[in-house]
């Protein structure tokens, strides 16, 4: 039997030098533990996804050179490392490659066959596929090597996600005949609350079909919007041993003495963990330490404040409370209570003086027109000025607090409350925000009940309520989920029992505000279909259906 | 000989109903002109690019149904129409298809082989390729049908653009043996100032290799950032007949009596035409009529104002002049002179009162820190509030005036001067902005000389000049062009004679501000490599080279 090291590391995209050192150091640790094979994740050399850095010749050459450097460090140990290789033939210039390294040599290369090109994935933009399975004998064992999507075959994934094809090529069928002793899959599979179980099912399916243990190593780390959760795993006939989620983990697995463990894929806990990790690693990789956000007294900003405090430490989070003439009395008191309960510092600065001055100055160019959405947006934009000024002056980084329901329906002010370096809740529906709030309160009342119970309002005009403009959130979110995550048609959704007029209204809103989302911050992705790079809708369009 | 109609039409993405009617109406006109074959552009049914609308089942079915509807309207005429078809086998769910229609029947289908997946193109995300050339006999002539990229073969395009592969498949070689009488290529090829000549060279090359006339029909119209210029063309041994650029054109071409013409690919004139069309069609498709912009007295906003006036009519353009304590005397007088010379209305509203009030209110949270970039950004953001307030109150749409050199180096304020519905000059380097200004002044001095001659300054602090922070624009733009359009490495550029330190500085700036560009408006694309969807750079990264 072979001893494996599942090297679940957190890479920085582009930092080939740093990633290389990290890999070498893990190999050295693995060697001390008498490991036979140290396994690293997909594109570990350059971090995933490198996007168009893959067109940069200096980047390509440095990535390739790094592989040889690592090979030289593999003394009496085998390492399987994800990197890029040149395609010297026609087609795309590169392969997405798993290198098998030992004693200064690249003893084998496997090029990825199935290149995900849907949702957030664009691999066909960069890589040429290759349909040559690799089974290599190492220490007298037959080791099959695959890369991530390669296992997402028809036989294992009969109901593919939106945009994912049923691939013709089935590597499992090809490998079966070769009866490998182990199957290794190196991956860069981002988190979603459905992916954690789906991924396990695929791997378990592969284990059953090939009747050999599976060694799966996933990347961990936050790459702007994409949260890679890790969850690397060894699976055999008797169970599995799974690594940490949302943390680096260098796990030694000896098939002779496996400590089987288990994980509970509780979605709301995973969403909480993912968002905290999302903030934390985004800040770390950017060398940011402190966050600023606006606290309205509402539930969204309250939840973001706590997530930020849990990610960065409460002492690194500062809040601005920016009441206006339309703010309810409780908006400030609730926000203060939230800060006090969670040891978050805050300042109160009214937007009223600047708002009044702006109204006065703009009066001549408003041509006597009545107050309308203009004045609402001005308020939201003055708050953005305050927050960005605090950010610029003190180096705190602005967290956006919009939720997915608002982003979907355009219920927010561009250059106002839509500002921020990263959107924490932009992939979390309002109803899920409530769930998160209850989860945060499971031990003690971190979020005052009044914040959870109050009627949602933007407080930009007298007695405004979200429900003046939007359907109740339980209904809105239900319809949005069908439209976005399930890609159902309007007709399907009406047939499923939703009110026709409401469905049409939500559909129209969803496709009306793509222009706002275009200029929104990157959104931490926790669902199978988030706003951003994985959902590409034309801005200028007419939908005639 | 066959009479062709080159139906170069302007479609709206998603508006299958409207596009269908437009196609039918062109078929009827063509029929009156005794046309044998009416040719429409790629994906004419749904407009190009439809992006992820292609995952919507209602959209797919309506697109397919529209083809049969059009077939029924083809009485005694043949139409070649671009649309989508289902792939009933494994792989991606759809084909990018050319349908050959006549007398109620779909008499043939051709599925695109080469699916561009680089720069702004993502076709592998949606379509399955198909490698079955189609030569169909129509009216006793052998007609080969191809779609856009199909002709960008190795033999015709030996030096492919960044990210474009050398395709293995060469349809020209396959078609040669069949000796077609005509080759038809239906396309959706967006404008760039290099593409207009490159495209002609490819088509001319195909004509020579196949020794038969080429009928090329391109889409015209602005699809957010992408400007499709048209330029449909008939080429035979003796020359060519080319349609209008930047306009719909239903051109009847009778190979017996061709009126050969020619076009002069003057880049600056084409850039001017493209940008004017870019604004005009963006507004028309969005049902906008009026534009607002901030006039600083500098050259960028002056050029945008005139482009907008030429696109929308001067009476539809309104300017805000928003001086501050740091504005030079000439900034307002120059802007006024520009407005007067071009019949653009304006208001002058100082940002000073709101700026002072904001400084006063924020004083307590600035902890006694000295003025810095914070105060500069506040000024830019107050201007954004004014402009967006005007926009919200009067329905004018805000034009962004940042140029490509600024966008590349992060020389602009997010949520400040980086605001707008569309960026007019975001793909135009500062040195090209000067070229444009001289071009605009070729008849009369539309832009006062003083605006052209003054030293560029953001005027956000006393005596500020762009050259305090940036290299001179001639050098900066030269380096940026090598980095962006030519994808050269830092080493290449230094070897080409640029100053080492400057090259490293520009490289660092270019990769430092991807986070700002992420939240910038869509940029009208006029170069082979624009910021936006065609250039995908990770936001969080370290470049260790």
- Among candidates A13, A56, A536 on the partner chain, residue whose Cβ is nearest the Cβ of B487: A56
Average pLDDT over residues A477-492: 97
Paired tokens of B467: 């050259």
Catalytic option among B20, B22, B112, B285: B112
CB B8 within 8 A of CB B248: yes
- Which residue is associated with the tokens 């050295």? A28
User: Does residue B120 sit at the A interface (CB-CB below 8 Å)?
Assistant: no
- % of chain B surpassing 70 pLDDT: 100
> Looking at chain A, how many residues does it have?
545
Q: Which residue has the tokens 């703010």?
A: A327
- Flag if B536 and A358 touch (Cβ within 8 Å): no
pLDDT at residue B136 greater than cutoff 70: yes
What pLDDT shows up at residue A329? 86
Q: Which residues of A touch B539 (CB under 8 A)?
A: 224, 522
- Cβ B354–A349 below 8 Å, yes or no? no
pLDDT > 70? residue A545: no
Q: Distance, in angstroms, between B178 CA and closest chain A CA?
A: 25
Q: What is the pLDDT of residue B33?
A: 97
Decide if the complex's ipTM is over 0.90: yes
Of A68, A203, A183, residue with least CA distance to A133: A183
The string of DSSP codes covering A2-23 is --EEEEE----TT-HHHHHHHH
* Euclidean distance between CA atoms B367 and B299, whole angstroms: 37
Residue-wise pLDDT for A229-286, tens only, equals 999 999 999 999 999 999 999 999 998 999 999 999 999 999 999 999 999 999 999 9
Sign (positive or negative) of CA dihedral B411, B412, B418, B424: negative
Q: In Å, what is the CA distance from B414 to each residue of A23, A434, B322, B440?
A: 37, 31, 18, 29
Going through B67-127 in order, the beta strands assigned E by DSSP cover 78-86, 94-102, 105-111
A525 touches chain B (CB under 8 A): no
Give the pLDDT band (50/70/90) at residue A1: confident
At residue B297 the predicted structure's pLDDT band, cuts being 50, 70 and 90, is very high
Burial of A542 (0-12, 13-18, 19+ CB in 10 A): middle
Looking at residue B1, its pLDDT comes to: 83
The pLDDT of residue A15: 97
How large is the average pLDDT for residues A333-351? 98
Cα angle, residue B128 at apex, residues B127 and B130 outer, rounded to 5°: 125
Assess contact for A6 and A217: CB atoms under 8 A.
Answer: yes
Mean pLDDT of B65-86: 98
Which residue stretches of A74-213 are H helix? Answer: 171-176, 195-210
The answer to whether the Cβ–Cβ distance between B487 and A55 falls below 8 Å is yes
What mean pLDDT value characterizes chain A?
97
- Cβ neighbours of B90 in A, within 8 Å: 154, 165-168
Confidence check: pLDDT of B96 > 80: yes
The b/e string for B213-238 (b: 16+ C-beta within 10 A; e otherwise) is: bbbbbbbbbbbbbbbbbbbbbbbbee
Residue A319 three-state SS: strand
pLDDT digit string, tens, across residues A152-168: 999 999 989 999 999 99
Q: Does the distance separating the beta carbons of A378 and B53 come in below 8 Å? A: no
β-bridge partners, A37: A4, A78
Q: Are B527 and B513 in contact (CB under 8 A)?
A: no
Angstrom distance (rounded) from CA A272 to CA A280: 12
Q: How would DSSP label each residue in B191-211? A: --TTHHHHHHHHHHHHHHHHT
Mean pLDDT, residues A113-139: 98
Distance of alpha carbon B278 from alpha carbon B227, whole angstroms: 6
Contacts of A222 in chain B (CB under 8 A): 540
CA distance A194 to A528: 7
Which residue in the set A361, A419, A540 is minimally distant from B282, CB to CB? A540
Residue count of chain B: 545
Q: B398-439, pLDDT tens digit by residue?
A: 999 999 999 999 999 999 999 999 999 999 999 999 999 999
Q: Is the pLDDT of residue A485 over 90?
A: yes
Which pLDDT score, from 0 to 100, does residue B329 have?
Answer: 86
Rounded Cα distance, A532 and A407, in Å? 11
- Tell me the two tokens of residue A355: 């708002």
Strand partners, A146: A185
Q: Does A122 touch chain B (CB under 8 A)?
A: yes
Are residues A94 and A127 in contact, defined by beta-carbon separation less than 8 angstroms? yes
What residues of A are annotated to the active site? 42, 112, 148
pLDDT at B544 over 90: no
Among A18, A489, A538, select the one facing B49 at the smallest CB separation.
Answer: A538
Rounded Cα distance between A82 and A111, Å, is: 10
How distant is the Cα of A95 from the closest Cα of chain B, in angstroms? 13
| Cβ-based burial of B104 (10 A; exposed 0-12, middle 13-18, buried ≥19) | exposed
Q: Span B300-320, mean pLDDT?
A: 98
H-helix or E-strand containing A469? helix A466-469
**What is residue B545's predicted lDDT score, i.e. its pLDDT?**
66
Contact B369 A167 (CB under 8 A): no
Q: How many helices (H) and strands (E) does chain B have?
A: 17, 19
Return d(Cα B57, Cα B145) in angstroms, integer. 27
| Token code pair at residue A19 | 């990633």
Interchain proximity B13–A541, CB inside 8 Å: yes
Pairing of strands B291-294, B397-400: parallel
Rounded CA separation A79/A83 (Å): 12
d(CA B461, CA B78): 66
User: What residues form DSSP beta bridges with B345?
Assistant: B318
The per-residue pLDDT for B276 is 98
- Residue B362 confidence (pLDDT) above 90: yes
Domains within chain A, CATH numbers bracketed: 4-257 (3.60.110.10), 272-470+513-518 (3.40.50.620)
C-alpha span between B333 and B309 (Å, rounded): 20
Tokens 């209110």 belong to B361
DSSP annotation string for B479-510: HHHHHHTS---HHHHHHTT--HHHHHHHHHHH
Instruction: Please check whether residue A4 is in contact with residue A213, taking contact to mean a CB–CB distance below 8 angstroms.
Output: no
Mean pLDDT for A63-81 is 98
Element at A409 (helix H, strand E): helix A404-409
**What is the tens place of the pLDDT at every residue in B472-489?**
999 999 999 999 999 999
Q: What angle do CA B191, B192, B198 make, to 5 degrees?
A: 95
Surface-to-core class of residue A380, CB atoms within 10 Å of its CB (0-12 exposed, 13-18 middle, 19+ buried)? buried
Q: What is the pLDDT of residues A171-205, one digit of tens each?
A: 999 999 999 999 999 999 999 999 999 999 999 99
DSSP B410-452: T-S-TTTTT-SSEESSTTS-HHHHHHHHHHHTSSS-SS-HHHH
Query: Chain B neighbours among A 252-281 (CB < 8 Å)?
Result: none
Query: Per mean pLDDT, which range of A457-471, B293-307, B497-511 is the poorest?
Result: A457-471
B316 in reach of chain A (CB within 8 A)? no
pLDDT above 70: percentage of residues in chain A: 100
The radius of gyration of chain A from alpha carbons, rounded to an integer in Å, stands at 25
User: Would the pLDDT of A118 be above 90?
Assistant: yes
* Two tokens, residue B462: 């006393």
């Amino acid at each position: 039997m072979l001893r494996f090291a599942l090297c679940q590391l957190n890479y920085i995209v582009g930092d080939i030098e740093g990633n290389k050192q990290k890999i070498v150091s893990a190999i050295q640790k693995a060697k001390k533990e008498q490991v036979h094979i140290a396994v690293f994740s997909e594109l570990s050399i350059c971090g995933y996804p490198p996007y168009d850095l893959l067109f940069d010749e200096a980047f390509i050459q440095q990535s390739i050179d790094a592989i040889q450097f690592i090979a030289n460090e593999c003394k009496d140990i085998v390492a399987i490392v994800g990197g890029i290789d040149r395609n010297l033939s026609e087609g795309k210039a590169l392969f997405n490659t798993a290198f098998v390294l030992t004693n200064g040599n690249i003893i084998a290369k496997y090029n990825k066959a199935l290149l995900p090109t849907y949702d957030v994935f664009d691999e066909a933009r960069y890589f040429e596929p290759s349909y040559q399975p690799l089974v290599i004998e190492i220490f007298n064992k037959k080791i099959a090597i695959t890369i991530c999507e390669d296992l997402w075959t028809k036989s294992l994934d009969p109901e593919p996600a939106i945009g994912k094809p049923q691939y013709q090529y089935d590597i499992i069928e090809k490998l079966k005949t070769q009866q490998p002793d182990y199957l290794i899959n190196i991956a860069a599979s981002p988190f979603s609350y459905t992916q954690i179980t789906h991924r396990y099912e695929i791997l378990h399916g592969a284990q059953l079909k090939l009747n050999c243990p599976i060694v799966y190593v996933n990347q961990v780390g936050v790459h702007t919007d994409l949260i890679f959760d890790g969850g690397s795993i060894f699976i055999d006939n008797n169970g599995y041993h799974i690594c940490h989620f949302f943390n680096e983990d260098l796990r030694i697995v000896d098939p002779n003495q496996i400590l089987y463990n288990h994980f509970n894929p509780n979605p709301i806990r995973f969403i909480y963990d993912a968002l905290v990790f999302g903030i934390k690693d985004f800040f770390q990789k950017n060398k940011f330490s402190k966050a600023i956000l606006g606290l309205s007294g509402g539930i969204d900003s309250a939840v973001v404040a706590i997530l930020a405090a849990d990610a960065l430490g409460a002492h690194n989070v500062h809040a601005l409370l920016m009441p206006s003439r339309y703010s309810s009395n409780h908006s400030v008191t609730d926000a203060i209570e939230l800060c006090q309960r969670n040891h978050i510092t805050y300042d109160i600065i009214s937007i009223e003086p600047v708002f009044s001055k702006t109204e006065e100055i703009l009066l001549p160019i408003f041509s006597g027109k009545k107050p309308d959405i203009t004045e609402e947006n001005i308020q939201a934009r003055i708050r953005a000025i305050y927050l960005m000024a605090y950010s610029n002056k003190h180096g705190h980084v602005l967290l956006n607090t919009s939720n997915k329901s608002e982003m979907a329906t355009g219920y927010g002010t561009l250059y106002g409350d839509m500002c921020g370096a990263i959107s924490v809740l932009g992939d979390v529906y309002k109803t899920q925000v409530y769930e998160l709030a209850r989860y945060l309160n499971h031990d003690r009342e971190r979020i005052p009940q009044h914040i959870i119970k109050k009627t949602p309002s933007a407080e930009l005009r007298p007695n405004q309520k979200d429900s003046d403009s939007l359907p109740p959130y339980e209904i809105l979110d239900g319809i949005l989920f069908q439209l976005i995550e399930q890609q159902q048609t309007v007709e399907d959704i009406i047939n499923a029992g939703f009110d026709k007029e409401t469905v049409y209204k939500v559909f129209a809103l969803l496709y009306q505000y793509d222009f706002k989302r275009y200029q929104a911050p990157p959104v931490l992705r926790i669902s199978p279909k988030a706003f951003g790079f994985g959902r590409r809708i034309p801005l200028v369009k007419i939908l005639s259906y």
